[in-house]
Amino acid sequence: MRRLLTNKRFITVVSLLIILAVIILGSIPGSPLNVVLKPIGAVVDPVQKAVKFTGNEISGFWAALTDGIAIRNENEQLRAEIAELQYQLTQNEEAAIRYEELQEAFHIREVFSNYDIFGASVLSRESDEWFSVIRAGVGNSDGIYLEQGESLAVVDVRMNLVGRVIEVNDDDSVILILLHEGFQVSGKVNAVNGATFLIIGDASLKQDGLCLVTGIDPDTIPSVGDEIVTSGEGGLFPQGIPIGVIESVDTSNELNITATLRPYADVENLNDIFIMVPYEDESEASDSEEVTDETFSEDT
């Protein structure tokens, strides 16, 4: 018995049972223990309130922390959704622009009905000090062929002259742009009986995006702002393709009057081009076949 009373575990359990009994009895209304415990309550209440306040603060802090994490995650999700919507909007805008460009491409077919129009995307720009040629994704496999001595006109979506095809491979074509010094085309003022002259690329002007106009008759000098189109002379380019506008005229040398022309085509920022291939005259083709057949018959 004496060992039991001196056992710490036994004393702890008994003490807890006594405290529990006092609490239970003290909670009964009218219990005489309420009078005895009232002085103790005055001391315990502040401790209880402090513990309760601390618990509430910890609970509030934890709730704020978890809410903050949830809000942050929600904001990240919303940002991702906004970015996706902005991307879709951009795609829709690009699709609308592309649609308008293709609509204008149909206009090329209407104006030049005797030409086959091949559209292609610009694959690359090959440059020196300023890019000289562009490579487009259309070639022999698409039905484009370039015979020796031929030249195929290349225009942008607004039917403005870009340059001419100089090489056709299986899957792509190389285009010499009109700013290059190796390019030339016969042009005329876009008016009835408009004066004609030669538009050529010039090494000193292409840095400024300009072409040189030569072969100007002193009696028919173009004016600044005149629109220039292809004349059709020489048969390399069809007549009426817009080239650009006269930007300046130099009459200081009466024997060599020159001008500068700013092309309509924004060659530096091209995304799509259109190659104009003339239809073969079926009557001429059939005639040539008949001649060949007759010649073959005579030979045999």
Contact yes or no for 157/106 (Cβ under 8 A): no
The per-residue pLDDT of the chain, averaged, comes to 76
Q: Please state the pTM of the whole predicted model.
A: 0.60
pLDDT score of 243: 96
Mean pLDDT to the nearest integer, 179-202? 93
pLDDT score of 119: 86
155: nearest Cα among 288, 272, 34 = 272
pLDDT score of 279: 79
pLDDT score of 105: 57
Select the more confidently predicted residue: 261 or 238.
Answer: 261
pLDDT exceeds 90 at position 263: yes
Segment 24-39, tens digit of pLDDT: 555 555 555 555 555 5
Please state, in angstroms and as integers, the Cα–Cα distance from residue 262 to each residue in 78, 213, 240, 266, 294, following that order.
Answer: 48, 10, 17, 10, 53
Output DSSP code: residue 205.
Answer: T
pLDDT exceeds 50 at position 295: no
DSSP 162-201: EEEEEEE-SS-EEEEETTSTT-EEEEEESSTT--EEEEE-
DSSP reduced 3-state for 33: helix
Contact yes or no for 225/190 (Cβ under 8 A): no
Select the more confidently predicted residue: 294 or 39.
Answer: 39
Residues of the chain with pLDDT > 90, as a percent, come to 34
pLDDT score of 54: 61
pLDDT score of 185: 94
What pLDDT band is residue 47 in, cutting at 50, 70 and 90? Answer: very low
- CA torsion, points 57, 63, 66, 72, in degrees to nearest 10? -100
pLDDT score of 136: 92
pLDDT exceeds 80 at position 41: no
DSSP reduced 3-state for 161: strand
Calpha distance 186→199 (Å, rounded): 6
* Burial of 210 per CB tally in 10 Å (0-12, 13-18, 19+): buried
Output DSSP code: residue 246.
Answer: E
pLDDT score of 216: 95
Q: How far is CA 3 from the centre of its chain?
A: 91
pLDDT score of 202: 93
Mean pLDDT to the nearest integer, 280-300? 48
DSSP 71-121: HHHHHHHHHHHHHHHHHHHHHHHHHHHHHHHHHHHHHHHHHTTTEEEEEEE
Select the more confidently predicted residue: 212 or 143.
Answer: 212
pLDDT score of 228: 96
Task: Answer positive or negative: Cα dihedral of 53, 59, 65, 71.
Answer: negative
Segment 81-137, tens digit of pLDDT: 777 766 666 555 655 555 555 555 556 667 777 888 888 888 887 655 455 789 999
Please state, in angstroms and as integers, the Cα–Cα distance from residue 219 to each residue in 91, 161, 231, following that order.
Answer: 53, 27, 18
What pLDDT band is residue 223 in, cutting at 50, 70 and 90? Answer: very high
Q: By mean pLDDT, which of 19-28, 59-68, 193-202 is the weakest?
A: 19-28
